[in-house]
Structures are given as C-alpha cells and as structure tokens.
Amino acid sequence: MNQISPGAFLAPAVDWLNANFHPFFALVTRVIEAVLGGIEAMLLVLPPVGLIVLVAGAAFFAAGLRIAVLSACCLGFCWLTGLWTASMQTLAVVVVSVAIAVAIAFPLGIWAARRASVEAALRPILDVMQTVPPWVYLIPAVMIFSLGRVPAIIATIVYGIPPMLRLTTLAFKGVPTDLKELGQAIGAKPRTILWKIEFPAAKPTLLVGLNQCILLSLAMVVLAGLVGAGGLGAEVTRGLTRMEMGLGLRAGLAIVAIALLLDRLSQGALDRQRRA
Amino acid sequence: MENFVTAFDMAVDDALFWLTDHAAFIFDGIRALLEGLYDGILWLLMLAPFHVVSVLAGLIAWRVMKSPGAGIATVLAMVFCWWMGLWAETMSTLALVVAASVIALAISLPLGVLAGLMPRLDRALAPVLDLIQTMPPYIYLLPAIALLGYGPATALIATVIVAMPPAVRLTALGIRRTPTEFIELGHATGVTPAQMFLKIRLPFAVPSIMAGVNQSLMMAFGMVVIAGIVGSGGLGETIFSAIRTLDIAKSIDAAIAIVVLTMVLDRVTQSLARAK
C-alpha cells in the first residue's frame, strides 16, 4: 500500500528544533523546574499537620466553616494514605500551570471582549482546542521537552487556557454598559475603570472560569503521570501497569480528595462573592 | 500510618481475590457482552472496504450538515486516515466510541427524562453527577481494570461512566424547560400523560438532548483515546506505544488521525443538534 506519513516529514523538523534551539528549551525547562521546585519545597517545608491547619484556616476565611472542615479532611486523607509528597507534587504542578494559564488567558480574554475581530479570530482556535482529546496535547510537549514535569506543565497550560479565556471574555462583555459609562462620565482613567468597575462586576464569572481551569488542569496533570510527570498521576500509572491495585486505588482516592479540595474551595469563594 | 497503608493494600488485594474467586462469572459475562458489542460494531465497520465507508460517512455528513463541502471534507478526512496506514486503528477507535456512546445513551437518556419529570430524583442525582465530573477521567480506569483486566471491555466501562453525566444533565434540562403554556394547553385539551410526553415535552427537549448527545460523544472520544493505556486497541494504543518507543513520526500520524476524526464527529453531531 502506498502510504503517506505527515509525521515522517514533521519528525525531522522536531529534530531540527531540538538541535538548534536546544539552549532555549533548556532555559525554559530550567526556569519551570526552578519555580516548581520552589513551590514544592514551600508546600513540603511544613509538617503535614501544619499545612493542613494552615489551609483549613485560609479556607475558613475565604469560604466558611464547612469548606474549612472539608479541606482539612481532604488533605488529611492524602496524608493518611502515605502519598503526602506525591499529593504536594501534583498540587504544585496544578498551581504553577493554573497561574501561567490565567496570566495568558486573562489579558487575551479582555482583549477579545473589547474587539469583536479578536474574538472572531480566537473562536475557531478555541473550538478546535476544546474538542481535541487531552492526550493529543501531550505529544508535541513530549517531543520537544522529552519526558518529565516540564512537558506536563506545558500541556496543562495549553489545556487550561480555553475555558478561562472564554469565560473572561464572557465576563467582561457582561459588564453593564451604564456602569462603564458612569466611569467615563466621572472621568476615570481606563485603567481605573478596568480594575475598579469592570473587574468587580465580572468577578463571579471569572471565578467560574478559574474553577473550570483548575479542574481541567488537575485532570491533565494526572494524565501526565503517563509521561513521567511524577505526583499522584505517576502512582496511578504504576498501579495500573504493575497491577498493584492497592496503590492505584489509594492514589486514585487521593486524587479525588485533591479534586474535591480544589473544586469546593474555588466554588466556596464564588458563593461568598455572590452573597456579598 | 504505615500500618494503615499496608492494611489498606492488603484489604484491597483480598477483596479483589475474593471477587475474582467468587464473582468471576459476573465479570466474565459483562466482559463477554461488552466485547461482543465492540466486535460486532467493528465487524460492521470493517465489512466494507475503506472507500465505501468513507463515501458513506461523507453522504451522512452532507445530509446532516446540508452542505456538499462538509461531505467532501469528511470523505477526504477518512481517506487521509487510510492513507496514513491507520485505517484499522481508526475504525477500532470509532467502534469503541460508538459502542460506549450507545451504552451511555441507553442509560442516561431514560435517566435524564425521569430526572426532568421528577425534581426529587434530579436533586438526588446532582451530587453524583458533580462528583463524576469533578474527578479526572483517567482514574475510572482503575476499578475497571481491577475487575475486567486489560482489553476493550475495561476501556468501554470507563468511557461509559465519563460519557453519561452531560447526556443526563442536558436531557433533564430539556424536559424541564417545556414552556408552561404548552403544558397547560395539553391539560386543557385533555391529552393522556403519554401524549403529553411524546407530543409536547419531547419535541421541545430535542435540541437540548442532541446537545447532550454531542457532549457525551466528545467525552467518550477523549476517554477512548486515554484508554489506550489499558490495551483498548485503536489510535490511543498506537500513540501510547509510539510515545514509549519515542517513535515521533508514528505518534504524530496517530494524533492527526485522532484530531481529524474528532472534528468530523463533533461537527456532524453539532449540526444534528442545531438542525432540529
């Protein structure tokens, strides 16, 4: 059979990139590893009990007593299953990738809300990004950054951007015009209007976007355990491939605990916003 | 803590041994049933040579989207998958998606209708659906592989779980959203409950239900690709083994085939939702 293989054309291009831009990719790798190492060290510097108390306290002030108890239980469970370090690694990767994804998606989303042409240009790209299965994102990341945590973070960032971008655009388009006009009428600077009028009005929708972004990122980070990203995903993969079901189940439940923690925390903050 | 971990692992292993000793026939039955369905669909898809299947797919796309361009694009997309030498893998991925979606819809459409008619059931289902959607899809493979072992049956079970929530939710939403005037009109003209459901509630719900079908199908697709790790066969497994052997060209080819297939399925089902 006469076959074609686009991959066979692209593979040399990847090799060329790896050969000629190696210093650049190495730099990106080192920066990400350094930031990640720092956050991981921060999460692991306290004894587990200390961190649990700290998170529960923060949750109490951000979202109330119920969420505080829930987060203490979730983290306590991660500790109890003997997967504390792996859980913190996963959490660190999620935190770093969500922060970067938001830093990219937030300004782009505002821009798209201001200009219809930008939104029209972005929409088909976002459509494609959201229909493609998450697995596919790992492939280019692995090809360029090989195995490890860096491709996991890159793929997670790319995967987390679309929901945040969409909801940012939606949030800023939903700001009532009279509020903006009020700002212009009293002679506020565009920057002041953005931060003092539009941002507070858009906040509930923005928090929904953040919640989505966090959950999708967690799903991706867990999946990235397949490409050697470490953390709980790696434990699940180990359980799956070596048939160590006890380990796999413990890691799976710890992931559920982390997912619940992140979801309820961000939703609790949202509910408090709505009530205020 | 150490004690807890070992005790947990022992308990899980014991429970699994007990299940495989005493309830093997149940799991063998489920496995045989699922694999039978998958094999049947795959047999149908592989019955005709690739050009017949491609043209059929193109005709369906043309009829559904009402544009000859879409039909031609679909034919080209399918031929492209064949040309890359991935026809068998593409068809087995498609068979997995179809089998999983059929099972998921057979469960979730009636469930969604019931939830739409009974607010109490809806309230009981909400936390369960929330939990299913909060957890990273990857971990559903764990219990499935423990009970059913490697192979397409495991992939199918995990995919069905992931694909159900959106269909249940959107079906219930569609049923609940029937305009009150029409329900009152029904009461006034004295229709039977069955007529009320078939002639008044269902037609209003169809767009929402079709949106649910589209979402389910896309979730199923994402999961089927991930399930390559448990030996589901198809494009997911091609990518998984290509990444492990660092065969960049092959993994790019398979990724392109996945993206192409996703696009076709998504566009066809989306316009099905819009056409009604």
Q: What is the pLDDT of residues A13-41, one digit of tens each?
A: 877 887 788 888 888 888 888 888 888 88
pLDDT for res B200: 80
pLDDT, tens digit (0-9, with 9 covering 90-100), for A168-225: 988 888 888 888 888 888 888 888 888 888 888 888 888 888 888 888 888 888 888 8
**Which comes out higher in pLDDT, residue B109 or A231?**
B109
Q: Tokens standing for A95? A: 């935190």
Domain presence at residue B56: no
Please judge whether A259 and B252 are an interchain contact, meaning their C-beta atoms are less than 8 angstroms apart.
Answer: no
pLDDT below 70 — which residues of chain B?
1-2, 275-276
- Say if residue A120's pLDDT is above 70: yes
Domain presence at residue B80: no
pLDDT, tens digit (0-9, with 9 covering 90-100), for B127-148: 888 888 877 888 888 888 878 8
* Domain count for chain B: 1
Complex-level ipTM: 0.74
Q: Tokens standing for A52? A: 């649990």
pLDDT for res B161: 92
Biggest alpha carbon distance in chain A? 73
Residues 6 or more apart in contact with residue B46 via CB below 8 angstroms: B88, B91
Which of A11, A82, A128 comes nearest B248 by C-beta? A11
Nearest to B81 by CA among B91, B72, B71: B91
pLDDT for res A274: 66
Question: In Å, how far are A49, A58, A182, A213, B269 from A64, measured between CA atoms?
Answer: 20, 9, 34, 23, 43
**For chain A, how big is the Rg over CA atoms in Å?**
21
pLDDT for res A51: 84
pLDDT for res B275: 62
Domain presence at residue B232: yes
Give B20: exposed, middle or buried? Use CB within 10 Å, 0-12, 13-18, 19+: middle
* Element of type H or E holding B196: none
Domain presence at residue B194: yes
- Say if residue A2's pLDDT is above 70: no
Which of A131, A143, A255 comes nearest B136 by C-beta? A255
CATH of the domain at B107: 1.10.3720.10
pLDDT, tens digit (0-9, with 9 covering 90-100), for A153-179: 888 898 889 989 988 988 888 888 888
pLDDT for res A275: 65
> Which candidate in A145, A211, A240, A264 is best for mutational testing of the B interface (most B CBs within 10 A)?
A240
Give A188: exposed, middle or buried? Use CB within 10 Å, 0-12, 13-18, 19+: middle
pLDDT for res B108: 92
The CATH T-level fold of domain A13-275 is MetI-like fold (1.10.3720)
Residues 6 or more apart in contact with residue B38 via CB below 8 angstroms: B95, B96, B99, B152, B153, B156
What is chain B's percent helix, strand, coil content, to nearest 5? 90, 0, 10
Task: Enumerate the residues of chain A whose CB falls inside 8 A of the CB of residue B2.
Answer: 82
Which of A3, A132, A135 comes nearest B83 by C-beta? A3
Q: DSSP character for A197?
A: I
CB-based contact B263:A132 (threshold 8 Å): no
- Residue A12: closest CA among chain B residues belongs to which residue? B249
Range of the domain at B166: 25-47+85-275
pLDDT, tens digit (0-9, with 9 covering 90-100), for A241-258: 777 778 888 888 888 888
Please judge whether A134 and B252 are an interchain contact, meaning their C-beta atoms are less than 8 angstroms apart.
Answer: no
Domain presence at residue B13: no
- Residue A261: closest CA among chain B residues belongs to which residue? B134
Distance from CA of B48 to the nearest CA of A (A): 17
pLDDT, tens digit (0-9, with 9 covering 90-100), for A45-103: 888 888 888 888 888 887 788 888 888 888 888 888 888 888 888 888 888 899 999 99
Distance from CA of A242 to the nearest CA of B (A): 11
Distance from CA of B198 to the nearest CA of A (A): 33
Half-sphere exposure of B151 (CA within 13 A, CB side): 15
Instruction: Name the band, by pLDDT with cuts 50, 70 and 90, for residue A104.
Output: very high
In the predicted model, what is the mean pLDDT of chain A? 83
Domains in chain A: boundaries: 13-275
Distance from CA of B269 to the nearest CA of A (A): 12
Domain presence at residue B192: yes
DSSP character string of A123-181: HHHHHHHHHS-HHHHHHHHHHHH-SSHHHHHHHHHHHHHHHHHHHHHHHHHTS-HHHHH
Please judge whether B84 and A3 are an interchain contact, meaning their C-beta atoms are less than 8 angstroms apart.
Answer: yes
